[in-house]
Structure 1
């Protein structure tokens, strides 16, 4: 497989910081794929689940929470979780450390530049189609689980605490994923570890992707992340609480997700969605 990109990679952050007033043509989306300008079209939000109540000693509370979670999976494929067990300070710190990374000089980030083989590291595009329309974003991608797939050389050395925080954050979010898998299994009438066993048991896979969306001079013409459905089992998203940028598709409409403080957004991926509700998938929009 070709291990280089089909053309020079341009960092979107560098474009943004250069002061351009017009985005390059390759970032301009076709009219049907551009952001909707009708901000009043949908006012609802995705369900919010108190995860602690799913493990309550009160059977009625536990049953109702499981019902609401099942409904969220079937009707939306998305929900937010609060009281999820991940330390709020750790959530703040991991956001901040990645902001610091993207604020580093370009040369410092370039040493982690990725390639089309593993995509691991600092990136600005997906796919190897020459002349493809690109998204207005940079990102950092890492393999986390199973541990044998980790490449320590791709974990940033700077900021100094980045590696430790990524390790701690990955461990705690993996625990949250395990809890959710047990709940999903119970709601599907499976053994508690049924879904996790189907995804590899102790060897299940997990990746970390950090998306960075620089300021755009023409935000009505492009997207930070094109509409898509997530191909894996589940995505656990830590949003920027100050920006309502994520949209999900529901009943033919795009619904803007309003992040709840200290919550994670859970996206049921294609593989689990086939099991839960075998209907056309709901793509996400950034």
Structure 2
């Protein structure tokens, strides 16, 4: 018997942008399958009916694939990061979302499907990848659980909120306050196009600028510890440079320096 073929798993976002995400996902699957015939790998589709369904499928089937490819924006990258972080399985990104900030920070093709797939196929064929840092978010006490993409509360069969401990990884930014409210408003917007949704959300949220309170305890690069109470409209723990569809708020952040930056 011959050796088992390399397996590439694909997860798309069929509910994004009024079904356009499903079209792009099918396009990427077809392109990867055709490339697999030339380069000796197979493709499996693990796309679920929701963010959490897809994440569960990616985790439960992790022993079956050698690479994971996600199609979408920063929400899908968060899915991929939580599916394979620490496993050694490389993550391929076809960035076709509203923000695409993490892909932009890596200088990956944005909204160029064919170019992105060609780059992923080349990386698989050559066995190349880039190691990047991950941030980790853990709650210190039980709180209301939320869905990974929409931020909506998780409820049980009777409609009651489900409480639990949060333990997740993130690739680019942990945003608290203003940017989180902008992102939430943009995701709920009915305006067409990611840029239009973000621009409108920025205008509304800045006009209603709120102040938020934070208690921060940080271990600095020299090993010293600082602790502060901060009142500010926004606080970001940055691994990458961009938020909000290309706003460079942390220009000195590097994805592979082993440190996070507090903005």
TM-score under structure 2 normalisation?
A: 0.23
Higher strand share: 2
